[in-house]
Structure 1
Protein backbone atom coordinates (compact mmCIF):
# COMPACT_ATOMS: atom_id res chain seq x y z
CA UNK A 1 0.00 0.00 0.00
CA UNK A 2 1.29 3.44 -0.88
CA UNK A 3 1.72 5.83 2.01
CA UNK A 4 2.35 8.83 -0.26
CA UNK A 5 -0.59 10.71 -1.70
CA UNK A 6 -0.94 13.17 -4.53
CA UNK A 7 1.92 13.60 -6.97
CA UNK A 8 4.44 12.06 -4.57
CA UNK A 9 2.53 8.77 -4.68
CA UNK A 10 2.55 8.41 -8.47
CA UNK A 11 4.95 5.56 -9.34
CA UNK A 12 5.78 7.02 -12.77
CA UNK A 13 6.78 10.37 -11.32
CA UNK A 14 9.12 8.67 -8.87
CA UNK A 15 10.59 6.45 -11.59
CA UNK A 16 11.21 9.52 -13.74
CA UNK A 17 12.79 11.56 -10.94
CA UNK A 18 15.06 8.86 -9.53
CA UNK A 19 15.98 7.62 -12.99
CA UNK A 20 16.85 11.16 -14.05
CA UNK A 21 19.04 11.77 -10.99
CA UNK A 22 20.90 8.45 -11.22
CA UNK A 23 21.36 8.63 -14.99
CA UNK A 24 22.59 12.23 -14.96
CA UNK A 25 25.46 11.23 -12.68
CA UNK A 26 26.19 8.24 -14.94
CA UNK A 27 26.07 10.35 -18.11
CA UNK A 28 28.56 12.82 -16.66
CA UNK A 29 30.81 10.01 -15.44
CA UNK A 30 30.92 8.25 -18.81
CA UNK A 31 31.90 11.35 -20.84
CA UNK A 32 35.57 10.24 -21.15
CA UNK A 33 34.40 7.13 -23.03
CA UNK A 34 32.86 9.24 -25.81
CA UNK A 35 34.60 11.37 -28.41
CA UNK A 36 34.07 15.05 -27.76
CA UNK A 37 35.44 18.11 -29.45
CA UNK A 38 38.07 19.62 -27.11
CA UNK A 39 37.27 23.13 -28.32
CA UNK A 40 33.62 22.89 -27.20
CA UNK A 41 32.78 24.81 -24.03
CA UNK A 42 32.07 22.70 -20.95
CA UNK A 43 28.38 23.69 -20.97
CA UNK A 44 27.93 22.00 -24.36
CA UNK A 45 28.84 18.70 -22.72
CA UNK A 46 26.55 19.39 -19.78
CA UNK A 47 23.67 20.14 -22.14
CA UNK A 48 24.37 16.95 -24.12
CA UNK A 49 24.45 14.89 -20.92
CA UNK A 50 21.22 16.51 -19.74
CA UNK A 51 19.49 15.72 -23.03
CA UNK A 52 20.71 12.13 -22.84
CA UNK A 53 19.43 11.94 -19.27
CA UNK A 54 15.93 12.98 -20.34
CA UNK A 55 16.10 10.13 -22.86
CA UNK A 56 17.23 7.77 -20.12
CA UNK A 57 14.28 8.79 -17.94
CA UNK A 58 11.94 8.19 -20.88
CA UNK A 59 13.41 4.73 -21.41
CA UNK A 60 12.91 3.99 -17.70
CA UNK A 61 9.27 5.08 -17.91
CA UNK A 62 8.72 2.94 -20.99
CA UNK A 63 10.31 -0.05 -19.22
CA UNK A 64 8.16 0.62 -16.16
CA UNK A 65 4.99 0.68 -18.28
CA UNK A 66 6.00 -2.51 -20.12
CA UNK A 67 6.33 -4.35 -16.82
CA UNK A 68 3.14 -2.73 -15.50
CA UNK A 69 1.26 -3.94 -18.57
CA UNK A 70 2.40 -7.52 -18.05
CA UNK A 71 1.83 -7.34 -14.28
CA UNK A 72 -1.48 -5.52 -14.84
CA UNK A 73 -0.54 -3.18 -12.05
CA UNK A 74 1.35 0.10 -11.78
CA UNK A 75 2.19 -0.93 -8.21
CA UNK A 76 4.42 -3.82 -9.31
CA UNK A 77 7.43 -1.77 -8.29
CA UNK A 78 6.44 -1.90 -4.61
CA UNK A 79 6.85 -5.66 -4.37
CA UNK A 80 8.64 -6.63 -7.57
CA UNK A 81 9.59 -10.18 -8.37
CA UNK A 82 13.01 -11.05 -9.79
CA UNK A 83 11.39 -11.59 -13.20
CA UNK A 84 9.83 -8.12 -13.10
CA UNK A 85 13.16 -6.53 -12.20
CA UNK A 86 14.77 -8.58 -14.98
CA UNK A 87 12.15 -7.41 -17.47
CA UNK A 88 12.63 -3.78 -16.37
CA UNK A 89 16.38 -4.15 -16.98
CA UNK A 90 15.93 -6.09 -20.24
CA UNK A 91 13.75 -3.42 -21.83
CA UNK A 92 16.43 -0.81 -21.11
CA UNK A 93 19.22 -3.05 -22.37
CA UNK A 94 17.43 -3.80 -25.65
CA UNK A 95 16.62 -0.14 -26.25
CA UNK A 96 20.22 0.82 -25.41
CA UNK A 97 21.66 -1.69 -27.89
CA UNK A 98 19.36 -0.37 -30.62
CA UNK A 99 19.97 3.33 -29.84
CA UNK A 100 23.74 2.92 -29.52
CA UNK A 101 23.87 1.02 -32.83
CA UNK A 102 21.88 3.74 -34.57
CA UNK A 103 23.76 6.65 -32.94
CA UNK A 104 27.25 5.28 -33.55
CA UNK A 105 26.29 3.92 -36.97
CA UNK A 106 23.99 5.43 -39.57
CA UNK A 107 22.97 8.52 -37.54
CA UNK A 108 26.57 9.38 -36.55
CA UNK A 109 25.37 11.16 -33.41
CA UNK A 110 28.40 10.15 -31.34
CA UNK A 111 31.37 7.84 -31.28
CA UNK A 112 33.36 6.00 -28.68
CA UNK A 113 36.94 6.66 -27.65
CA UNK A 114 39.47 3.84 -27.79
CA UNK A 115 39.01 3.38 -24.03
CA UNK A 116 35.37 2.25 -24.46
CA UNK A 117 35.14 -1.53 -24.30
CA UNK A 118 32.56 -2.82 -26.77
CA UNK A 119 30.54 -5.97 -27.30
CA UNK A 120 31.90 -8.19 -30.04
CA UNK A 121 29.78 -8.24 -33.21
CA UNK A 122 27.27 -5.60 -32.01
CA UNK A 123 29.87 -2.97 -31.13
CA UNK A 124 27.71 -1.61 -28.31
CA UNK A 125 29.69 0.19 -25.64
CA UNK A 126 29.95 -1.72 -22.37
CA UNK A 127 29.67 1.45 -20.27
CA UNK A 128 26.18 2.42 -21.58
CA UNK A 129 25.17 -1.23 -21.28
CA UNK A 130 26.27 -1.34 -17.65
CA UNK A 131 24.20 1.78 -17.08
CA UNK A 132 21.06 -0.23 -17.93
CA UNK A 133 22.11 -3.21 -15.84
CA UNK A 134 23.12 -1.33 -12.68
CA UNK A 135 20.84 1.72 -12.49
CA UNK A 136 17.36 0.16 -12.92
CA UNK A 137 17.62 -1.88 -9.69
CA UNK A 138 18.78 1.27 -7.88
CA UNK A 139 15.85 3.17 -9.36
CA UNK A 140 13.47 0.49 -8.10
CA UNK A 141 15.06 0.61 -4.65
CA UNK A 142 14.71 4.40 -4.39
CA UNK A 143 11.14 4.38 -5.71
CA UNK A 144 10.16 1.63 -3.29
CA UNK A 145 11.64 3.60 -0.37
CA UNK A 146 9.80 6.73 -1.49
CA UNK A 147 6.41 5.06 -1.93
CA UNK A 148 6.31 2.87 1.17
Structure 2
Protein backbone atom coordinates (compact mmCIF):
# COMPACT_ATOMS: atom_id res chain seq x y z
CA UNK A 1 0.00 0.00 0.00
CA UNK A 2 1.46 3.34 -1.02
CA UNK A 3 2.06 6.19 1.38
CA UNK A 4 -0.60 8.26 -0.33
CA UNK A 5 -3.25 5.56 0.06
CA UNK A 6 -2.30 5.02 3.72
CA UNK A 7 -2.63 8.76 4.36
CA UNK A 8 -6.03 8.81 2.67
CA UNK A 9 -7.24 5.85 4.73
CA UNK A 10 -5.99 7.49 7.95
CA UNK A 11 -7.81 10.70 7.02
CA UNK A 12 -11.09 8.84 6.49
CA UNK A 13 -10.73 6.89 9.73
CA UNK A 14 -9.87 10.06 11.69
CA UNK A 15 -12.66 12.14 10.14
CA UNK A 16 -15.39 13.50 12.39
CA UNK A 17 -18.03 11.77 10.27
CA UNK A 18 -16.42 8.33 10.68
CA UNK A 19 -16.00 8.96 14.39
CA UNK A 20 -19.66 9.97 14.82
CA UNK A 21 -20.81 7.01 12.70
CA UNK A 22 -18.71 4.58 14.75
CA UNK A 23 -20.00 5.77 18.11
CA UNK A 24 -23.55 5.98 16.75
CA UNK A 25 -23.32 2.29 15.85
CA UNK A 26 -21.67 1.27 19.12
CA UNK A 27 -24.20 3.12 21.29
CA UNK A 28 -27.40 2.54 19.34
CA UNK A 29 -27.13 -1.21 18.79
CA UNK A 30 -27.28 -2.12 22.51
CA UNK A 31 -30.16 0.34 22.95
CA UNK A 32 -32.04 -1.26 20.07
CA UNK A 33 -31.50 -4.73 21.54
CA UNK A 34 -32.67 -3.61 24.97
CA UNK A 35 -35.78 -1.86 23.67
CA UNK A 36 -36.71 -4.64 21.20
CA UNK A 37 -39.19 -6.30 23.61
CA UNK A 38 -41.12 -3.00 23.67
CA UNK A 39 -42.06 -3.55 20.01
CA UNK A 40 -44.93 -5.87 19.12
CA UNK A 41 -43.85 -9.44 18.49
CA UNK A 42 -40.16 -8.90 19.16
CA UNK A 43 -40.10 -10.56 22.59
CA UNK A 44 -41.27 -13.84 21.06
CA UNK A 45 -39.40 -13.63 17.74
CA UNK A 46 -36.36 -15.80 16.94
CA UNK A 47 -32.98 -14.30 17.80
CA UNK A 48 -31.97 -13.94 14.14
CA UNK A 49 -35.07 -11.88 13.32
CA UNK A 50 -34.60 -9.60 16.34
CA UNK A 51 -30.89 -9.15 15.56
CA UNK A 52 -31.62 -8.28 11.93
CA UNK A 53 -34.32 -5.77 12.91
CA UNK A 54 -32.02 -4.19 15.50
CA UNK A 55 -29.15 -3.95 13.01
CA UNK A 56 -31.44 -2.27 10.48
CA UNK A 57 -32.68 0.17 13.11
CA UNK A 58 -29.10 0.86 14.21
CA UNK A 59 -28.07 1.63 10.63
CA UNK A 60 -30.99 4.05 10.41
CA UNK A 61 -29.96 5.64 13.72
CA UNK A 62 -26.44 6.10 12.37
CA UNK A 63 -27.75 7.79 9.22
CA UNK A 64 -29.96 10.10 11.28
CA UNK A 65 -27.01 10.97 13.50
CA UNK A 66 -24.81 11.70 10.48
CA UNK A 67 -27.52 13.94 8.99
CA UNK A 68 -27.83 15.79 12.30
CA UNK A 69 -24.04 16.10 12.53
CA UNK A 70 -23.92 17.43 8.98
CA UNK A 71 -26.63 20.00 9.70
CA UNK A 72 -24.69 21.33 12.68
CA UNK A 73 -21.43 21.24 10.68
CA UNK A 74 -23.01 23.28 7.89
CA UNK A 75 -24.55 25.72 10.35
CA UNK A 76 -21.29 26.21 12.23
CA UNK A 77 -19.07 25.85 9.15
CA UNK A 78 -16.97 23.38 11.08
CA UNK A 79 -16.91 19.61 10.46
CA UNK A 80 -15.05 19.13 13.76
CA UNK A 81 -17.61 21.00 15.87
CA UNK A 82 -17.83 18.07 18.29
CA UNK A 83 -14.31 18.87 19.56
CA UNK A 84 -15.56 22.09 21.16
CA UNK A 85 -19.33 21.79 20.93
CA UNK A 86 -21.28 24.69 22.31
CA UNK A 87 -24.56 24.20 24.13
CA UNK A 88 -26.41 25.53 21.09
CA UNK A 89 -24.64 23.09 18.76
CA UNK A 90 -25.39 20.17 21.05
CA UNK A 91 -29.02 21.25 21.37
CA UNK A 92 -29.35 21.56 17.58
CA UNK A 93 -27.73 18.13 17.11
CA UNK A 94 -30.18 16.50 19.54
CA UNK A 95 -33.18 18.45 18.23
CA UNK A 96 -32.45 17.60 14.60
CA UNK A 97 -32.05 13.87 15.32
CA UNK A 98 -35.05 13.81 17.62
CA UNK A 99 -37.23 15.55 15.02
CA UNK A 100 -36.31 13.01 12.36
CA UNK A 101 -36.92 10.17 14.81
CA UNK A 102 -40.35 11.50 15.79
CA UNK A 103 -41.33 11.67 12.13
CA UNK A 104 -40.00 8.15 11.41
CA UNK A 105 -41.78 6.70 14.47
CA UNK A 106 -45.04 8.44 13.52
CA UNK A 107 -44.77 7.17 9.94
CA UNK A 108 -43.78 3.65 11.00
CA UNK A 109 -46.43 3.17 13.67
CA UNK A 110 -49.09 4.80 11.52
CA UNK A 111 -48.50 2.47 8.58
CA UNK A 112 -47.28 5.34 6.38
CA UNK A 113 -43.72 3.99 6.00
CA UNK A 114 -42.11 1.43 3.70
CA UNK A 115 -42.56 -1.01 6.53
CA UNK A 116 -44.61 -0.52 9.63
CA UNK A 117 -44.33 -1.57 13.24
CA UNK A 118 -46.34 -1.33 16.39
CA UNK A 119 -45.52 -1.08 20.04
CA UNK A 120 -46.05 -3.80 22.60
CA UNK A 121 -48.43 -2.89 25.44
CA UNK A 122 -45.34 -2.47 27.67
CA UNK A 123 -44.00 0.48 25.62
CA UNK A 124 -44.60 3.72 27.51
CA UNK A 125 -45.95 6.40 25.16
CA UNK A 126 -45.14 10.08 24.93
CA UNK A 127 -48.38 11.68 26.13
CA UNK A 128 -50.67 12.87 23.38
CA UNK A 129 -48.55 11.50 20.51
CA UNK A 130 -48.81 7.73 20.41
CA UNK A 131 -45.02 7.69 19.97
CA UNK A 132 -42.94 5.39 22.15
CA UNK A 133 -40.99 6.95 24.99
CA UNK A 134 -38.00 4.63 24.51
CA UNK A 135 -37.02 5.94 21.04
CA UNK A 136 -37.48 9.50 22.32
CA UNK A 137 -35.21 8.86 25.29
CA UNK A 138 -32.73 7.21 22.92
CA UNK A 139 -32.43 10.48 21.03
CA UNK A 140 -32.14 12.57 24.17
CA UNK A 141 -29.42 10.39 25.74
CA UNK A 142 -27.28 8.88 22.97
CA UNK A 143 -26.44 11.96 20.84
CA UNK A 144 -24.77 13.81 23.76
CA UNK A 145 -22.87 10.62 24.60
CA UNK A 146 -21.83 10.31 20.96
CA UNK A 147 -20.52 13.88 20.99
CA UNK A 148 -18.64 13.21 24.23
CA UNK A 149 -17.00 10.06 22.83
CA UNK A 150 -16.31 11.72 19.46
CA UNK A 151 -14.60 14.66 21.18
CA UNK A 152 -12.37 12.33 23.18
CA UNK A 153 -11.51 10.34 20.07
CA UNK A 154 -10.88 13.34 17.81
CA UNK A 155 -8.79 15.20 20.39
CA UNK A 156 -6.81 12.05 21.13
CA UNK A 157 -6.09 11.40 17.45
CA UNK A 158 -5.08 14.96 16.63
Same-fold status (TM-score > 0.5)? yes
Alignment match, 2:41: 36
Q: 1:111 and 1:65, CA in 2 relative to 1: closer, same or farther beyond 3 A?
A: same
Asked if 1:51 corresponds to 2:56, the answer is yes
Q: Given the two structures, how large is their TM-score scaled by the length of structure 2?
A: 0.86
**Which of 27, 30, 33 in structure 2 is aligned with 1:22?**
27
Q: 2:136 aligns with which of 122, 129, 146?
A: 129
Give unmatched runs, 5+ long, in structure 2: 1-9
- What residue is the counterpart of 1:7 in the other structure? 12
| CA displacement at 1:125 relative to structure 2 | 0.6
Please tell me whether residue 117 in structure 1 is matched to residue 124 in structure 2. yes
TM-score normalised by the chain length of structure 1:
0.92
Check if 1:95 corresponds to 2:100. yes
- Aligned counterpart in structure 2 of residue 86 of structure 1, from 73, 77, 91: 91
Deviation >4 Å, runs of 4+: none
Q: Greater relative contact order: 1 or 2 (C-alpha under 8 angstroms, separation 6 or more)?
A: 1
How far did residue 41 of structure 1 move? 2.0
Distance in 2 between residues matched to 1:76 and 1:40, nearest whole Å: 41
Q: Judge conservation of contact 2:111–2:117 (CA < 8 Å) in 1.
A: no
Alpha carbons of structure 1 residues 92 and 24: separation in structure 2 relative to 1, 3 Å:
same
Deviation (angstroms), 1:84:
0.3
Give the root-mean-square deviation of aligned CA atoms: 1.4
- Structure 1: which 5+ runs fail to align? none
